[in-house]
Amino acid sequence: MLVCCTHKRMHACPMEADMNYVLPLFLLCAIACSSKMVYAFEKDIIATSSGDLEITFIGHGSLMMKVNNIVVHVDPYGALADYALLPKADVLLITHEHRDHLDPGAIDKIRTADTKVYLSAACAEKLSGGTIMKNGDTESVSGIGIEAVPAYNLVHRRDSGEPYHPKGRGNGYVLTVGGKRLYIAGDTENIPEMKALKNIEIAFLPMNLPYTMTPDMVADAARTFKPHILYPYHYGDTDTSLIVKLLKNDAGIDVRIRRMK
C-alpha cells in the first residue's frame, strides 16, 4: 500500500485513491465486456404444448433455442458471440458449408460427446461425427422432429453462372416442437418447395443480396405458405422496413424484426 506521511498521520496517496477508483471501474468494464456477447441478445418466448420455446437471436444466420432444457443451436458463428459462454448444444443443426454457417471453432465450444449433430453431406466433409440429412430426410431427437428441406438459388448466381447455393447441397430445416412447426430456411430463394410448406407457425427467411432473397421474394414466399410469425434473418444491409411495408396488409402474418444482420 502506498501512503503519504504528514504530521504523523497516514493518508492514502492521490495515486492510491485514483487506483482505488480506476481498478474497480476497469474490472466492471471487463466483466461487462465479457458478458455482453451472452446477455445482449434479443429473445422471444413462444408457447407450445411441450412448454415455452425460448428463441435467442444470436445474429446473421445463428440462432439458439431452448425447450424443456433441450438446447438447439443453429449455424453457430464465432464472429457473433463467444460460444464458450453459451449453453452447450444438445442438438446442433448446420444448414450448409459456408464459413459463416459452419464454423468449427464455434462448434467446438458448444459441442459435447452427447451433442446430436445434423448436417448435409457437403458439411460432413468439413465436420465429422454428425448425422447426414438429405433433402426430404426426417429425424427425431429429444421430442423434436427434424425434416431437412431444400435450400438453393434460382436467380442469384456467381459470375461463373453457378448458383451461390446449388440445389441439393444445403438444407433448410422444419422443426416440430410441441405441436408447432418452425421453418429455418437456410440460404435460399423463394423456391417451389418453400411455397409448398404447410402449417408453419414460425419462419426464418433470409433476405440478403446477392446471396439469398430480396424483400419482394420474401413477401412472395410468405404470402404463399403464410407463417403466423415471420422473422427475416441473415439480412445483411437490407432495409428491413421494406418487408414490413410489403406485408403490412397481410392479415395473419406477424413480421418481427430482430437483430439478425
Task: Return the CATH number at 157.
Answer: 3.60.15.10
Q: Is residue 211 part of a domain?
A: yes
178 pLDDT more than 80: yes
**Do 127 and 94 meet the contact criterion of CB atoms below 8 Å apart?**
yes
Check residue 34 and give its pLDDT: 45
Check residue 102 and give its pLDDT: 96
Check residue 21 and give its pLDDT: 45
Nearest-angstrom CA–CA distance, 203 and 259: 15
Q: Is residue 27 part of a domain?
A: no
How many alpha carbons fall within 13 Å on the CB side of residue 136?
2
Q: Is residue 193 part of a domain?
A: yes
Q: Is residue 225 part of a domain?
A: yes
The whole domain housing 180 covers 41-255
**CA nearest neighbour of 214 among 195, 246, 238, 197:** 238
Nearest-angstrom CA–CA distance, 162 and 220: 24
Q: CA torsion angle for 34, 35, 38, 42 (degrees, to 10)?
A: -120
List all residues 6 or more positions away from 167 whose beta carbon is below 8 Å from its beta carbon: 150, 152
| pLDDT tier at 101, thresholds 50, 70, 90 | very high
Average pLDDT of the residues in 145-157: 94
Q: Is residue 28 part of a domain?
A: no
Q: Is residue 109 part of a domain?
A: yes
Nearest-angstrom CA–CA distance, 117 and 241: 35
| pLDDT tier at 157, thresholds 50, 70, 90 | confident
- In angstroms, what CA-CA distances link 231 with 5, 9, 16, 136? 66, 66, 52, 23
87 pLDDT more than 70: yes
Q: What is the pLDDT of residues 199-246, one digit of tens each?
A: 999 999 999 989 999 999 999 999 999 999 999 999 999 999 999 999
What domain count does the chain have?
1
Cβ-based neighbour number of residue 84 at 10 Å: 12
pTM: 0.85
**Do 182 and 174 meet the contact criterion of CB atoms below 8 Å apart?**
yes
